[in-house]
Chains A and B, each alone.
Chain A
Amino acid sequence: MPFGNTHNQLKMNYSAEQEFPDLSKHNNHMAKVLTPDMYASLRDKQTPSGFTVDDVIQTGVDNPGHPFIMTVGCVAGDEETYEVFKDLLDPIIEDRHGGYKPTDKHKTDLNPDNLQGGDDLDPNYVLSSRVRTGRSIRGFCLPPHCSRGERRGIESMSVEALGVLDGDLNGKYYALKDMTDDEQQQLIDDHFLFDKPVSPLLLASGMARDWPDGRGIWHNDNKTFLVWVNEEDHLRVISMQKGGNMKEVFNRFCTGLTKIEELFKEKGHEFMWNEHLGYVLTCPSNLGTGLRGGVHVKLPNVSKHEKFGEILKRLRLQKRGTGGVDTAAVGGVFDISNADRLGFSEVELVQMVVDGVKLLVEMEKRLESGQSIDDLMPAQK
């Protein structure tokens, strides 16, 4: 249970066997990993803020999953969750992040000059480019567990920091609860507005409590840099623009993030980060870079090719519909982004997207003119 958790000790009146969840119909990472013995050894532990293993797994217990889509099935309530419950989370992280071991180190690289190319993706095919990540403020509980006071504290610190940004990053904050109807409509039209989560995966973890208190959207005047406050993470940071200039998008992304981090440090706050897990976020799937860099790209021919799935896999890319996760493609336009989050740096991941999309566009052009793409098949990255 989020926050008011002193009654987590109540379950110690019962044996581990009596409390162990029924996971017989479940298909998610948590259910694959959590054994009765592991549960027994973890259930009397809690993080300094009182988050327990039952809090971690509630979303996975409530959402058995889907035979085809493997959800994570657990969340962190604070930074220490990943340490206190490492016996559970390390194997989940390993499975979710392509074999990432508990001893592995994660590279952070937010130097946009290290990106090669990326400013010349063909705008006839690449309609828009976007990079997003998340950041958590050290010392505060994460959305599944935070109190109203903490959430408001995160909001006011973030608004203060964002208020200092100027030049290309000069912008404005819109608190969800004070928004006017006109502001709301504008944000909807810009595709910026986020709404109260409806996904049971999120609701079951407690992150929608007290909605819309402490939530809001900040964006720069140019509408190319956007920050969500207190949605699924403390901060979600998004850089985006129409067309194929991923280099510019990534430049702004890195510049903005670095500036925001400096501003927080000036006030004595830092982001949750460590050299093993990189940036720490609510969902284990977003550890490391938390980065999803992608484009909306027209691939009507390539997408029908029998090897499309294999090509994406080798390029370490993932396809989604243009509505984002769990949507279908419309009119041959796909959202193509990096599949990885942890174990590669930001530069490496965006490089994969840039190189991969360039290749896909080339393949599309070949197929358009009736030529083969066999010689273009990439090796596994």
Chain B
Amino acid sequence: MASSFARVLSSKRKVGILSLVGAGSLTVGFFLNREHVNAGSNVRRIYPASAEYPDLRKHNNCMASHLTPAIYAKLCDKSTPNGYTLDEAIQTGVDNPGHPFIKTVGMVAGDEESYGVFADLFNPVIKERHNGYDACNMKHPTDLDYSKIRGGVFDDKYVLSSRVRTGRSIRGLSLPPACTRAERREVERVVIDALAGLKGDLAGKYFSLTIMTDQEQQQLIDDHFLFDKPVSPLLTCAGMARDWPDARGIWHNNEKTFLVWVNEEDHTRVISMEKGGNMKRVFERFCKGLLEVEKLIQEKGWEFMWNENLGYILTCPSNLGTGLRAGVHVNLPRLSKDTRFSKILDNLRLQKRGTGGVDTAAVGSTFDISNLDRLGQSEVQLVQTVIDGVNYLIECEKKLEKGQDIKIPPPISQFK
């Protein structure tokens, strides 16, 4: 199908004509000033902001903690150039009051500009969620130079598997809560076009959710690669499951160590993983893959959403910065029963989850241990934190095996 598409390159709106020829495809692209939809002028209001302010008295999420009636009144008639509004951004937090023990974020971005237009609300939410990170004044470091990693090859007796994941968004296209069907399909097209250019140990194949065969589906389930339509109301209330499964899919390399999800909670989720404890190699493949994909999309005139305050821009504010979760499945039968386990993790700035991922319980004594932080430290720093931390945990386990005592380590600093 002949496609005509509008593109925006960087926050500086360039006007010009550029003819792009990519390998295997002839496409003429235009850099255009994006036509700004009338920001706010079409919002129909028959009630004042005070009558529209949500009832958040029973709520426990970051949005509810920071959305005052004054901020609501200030922002409720604004919209991003794409027309995304505050009511849409907070809908998930209004619909999901939260849990006394688990504080969810309670809001999402519909596009890159959301973080700017609704900064009066996003910034305090970011500050709370990212332990005091000041989005106005602080700069986020991006570092994908895997050669800086020290160590990172764990004892397979303890570490069963290693994994690093992040997300990336394609600049100029709306995010999953707000994208139109055509935008979502455009994301898919841009991403799989780039992935098709990967070679060597990264060469792979795309499986579209709409046309997957039963065998392909079963294989992906067996490999633990398949993602399904979100059931969590946190996600569905934000509108990210619309038009499922249109333009959703899974790409993975032939060796099944590098995996990309297309149009699930973000434009892309990128995952590098292996059995065993070679986190160093996992991170190396992660960085190489990401950088190669970035190069491939840039050749076609696209780029990732990124800015120097917030790092990589993703749908959920909790994933800003690096969007990176690096973790291991590790066996800690003695340490996990020690009363000091949680404190040790806290001080190492690590988090434990069950082996089913977020909101699951550990099975036996195998835990998913990963970095707590996302924003304010670079990828290299966070992965190093995980490596150093897991090494410490394994040392503790070994000491307990020999009947020796362990120490709670001093807390490491957050923003380096």
Residue of A nearest to B236 (CB): A203
B23 interface residue, CB < 8 Å from A? no
Residues in B with CB closer than 8 Å to A11 are 180-183
Residues in A with CB closer than 8 Å to B185 are 18
A14 and B40 form a contact (CB under 8 A): no
Count of chain A residues near B, Cβ 8 A: 40
Measured CB to CB, the residues of A under 8 A from B are: 1, 3-11, 13-15, 17-22, 48-50, 54, 58, 61-62, 147-150, 152-153, 177, 203-204, 208-211, 213
B242 and A62 form a contact (CB under 8 A): yes
7 nearest A-B residue pairs (beta carbon): A7-B83, A149-B47, A4-B85, A6-B83, A14-B182, A18-B182, A149-B51
B94 interface residue, CB < 8 Å from A? yes
B55 interface residue, CB < 8 Å from A? yes
Residues in B with CB closer than 8 Å to A22 are 210, 243, 246
B51 and A1 form a contact (CB under 8 A): no
Q: How far is the CA of A3 from the CA of B42 in the complex (A)?
A: 11
Q: How far is the CA of A58 from the CA of B180 in the complex (A)?
A: 11
A209 and B94 form a contact (CB under 8 A): yes
A4 and B79 form a contact (CB under 8 A): yes
Residues in B with CB closer than 8 Å to A62 are 241-244
Residues in B with CB closer than 8 Å to A208 are 95
* A21 in contact with B84 given A149-B51, A208-B95, A213-B55 (CB within 8 Å): no
A4 and B243 form a contact (CB under 8 A): no
Residues in A with CB closer than 8 Å to B51 are 148-149, 152-153
B84 and A13 form a contact (CB under 8 A): no
B291 interface residue, CB < 8 Å from A? no
Residues in A with CB closer than 8 Å to B47 are 147, 149-150, 153
**Which residues of chain B from 230 to 261 have a CB within 8 Å of any chain A CB?**
236-237, 239, 241-244, 246
B43 and A210 form a contact (CB under 8 A): no
Q: B5's contact among A9, A14, A177, by CB below 8 Å, is which?
A: A14
B401 interface residue, CB < 8 Å from A? no
Measured CB to CB, the residues of B under 8 A from A are: 1, 3-6, 35, 37-48, 51-55, 58, 79-80, 82-88, 91, 94-95, 110, 174, 178, 180-183, 185-186, 210, 236-237, 239, 241-244, 246
A7 and B181 form a contact (CB under 8 A): no
Q: How far is the CA of A8 from the CA of B84 in the complex (A)?
A: 9
Q: How far is the CA of A136 from the CA of B87 in the complex (A)?
A: 24
Q: How far is the CA of A320 from the CA of B51 in the complex (A)?
A: 41
Interface centre among B4, B39, B40, B41 (most CB of A within 10 A): B4
A49 and B44 form a contact (CB under 8 A): yes
Residues in A with CB closer than 8 Å to B46 are 149-150
Residues in B with CB closer than 8 Å to A50 are 42-44
Residues in A with CB closer than 8 Å to B80 are 7
B37 and A7 form a contact (CB under 8 A): yes
Closest-CB distance, B185 to chain A (whole angstroms): 7
Residues in B with CB closer than 8 Å to A13 are 6, 35
Closest-CB distance, A128 to chain B (whole angstroms): 34
B84 and A4 form a contact (CB under 8 A): yes
Extra contacts, 12 of them, besides A7-B110, A15-B4, A209-B94 (Cβ < 8 A), are: A4-B84, A7-B79, A9-B83, A13-B6, A18-B3, A18-B181, A149-B52, A152-B51, A177-B55, A177-B58, A210-B91, A210-B94
Interface centre among A1, A3, A11 (most CB of B within 10 A): A1
Q: How far is the CA of A50 from the CA of B87 in the complex (A)?
A: 15
Residues in A with CB closer than 8 Å to B239 are 1
Closest-CB distance, B87 to chain A (whole angstroms): 5
A1 and B182 form a contact (CB under 8 A): no
B180 and A6 form a contact (CB under 8 A): no
B246 and A7 form a contact (CB under 8 A): no
Residues in B with CB closer than 8 Å to A211 are 95
Closest-CB distance, B101 to chain A (whole angstroms): 22
Q: How far is the CA of A11 from the CA of B85 in the complex (A)?
A: 16
Q: How far is the CA of A213 from the CA of B55 in the complex (A)?
A: 7
Q: How far is the CA of A10 from the CA of B174 in the complex (A)?
A: 9
A6 and B6 form a contact (CB under 8 A): no
* A7 in contact with B82 given A61-B243, A147-B52, A149-B52 (CB within 8 Å): yes
Q: A4's contact among B37, B43, B53, B236, by CB below 8 Å, is which?
A: B43
Interface centre among B37, B38, B180, B239 (most CB of A within 10 A): B180
Q: How far is the CA of A55 from the CA of B142 in the complex (A)?
A: 39
B87 and A147 form a contact (CB under 8 A): yes
Q: How far is the CA of A148 from the CA of B94 in the complex (A)?
A: 11
Residues in A with CB closer than 8 Å to B5 are 14
A10 and B95 form a contact (CB under 8 A): no
Closest-CB distance, A344 to chain B (whole angstroms): 35
Residues in B with CB closer than 8 Å to A58 are 242
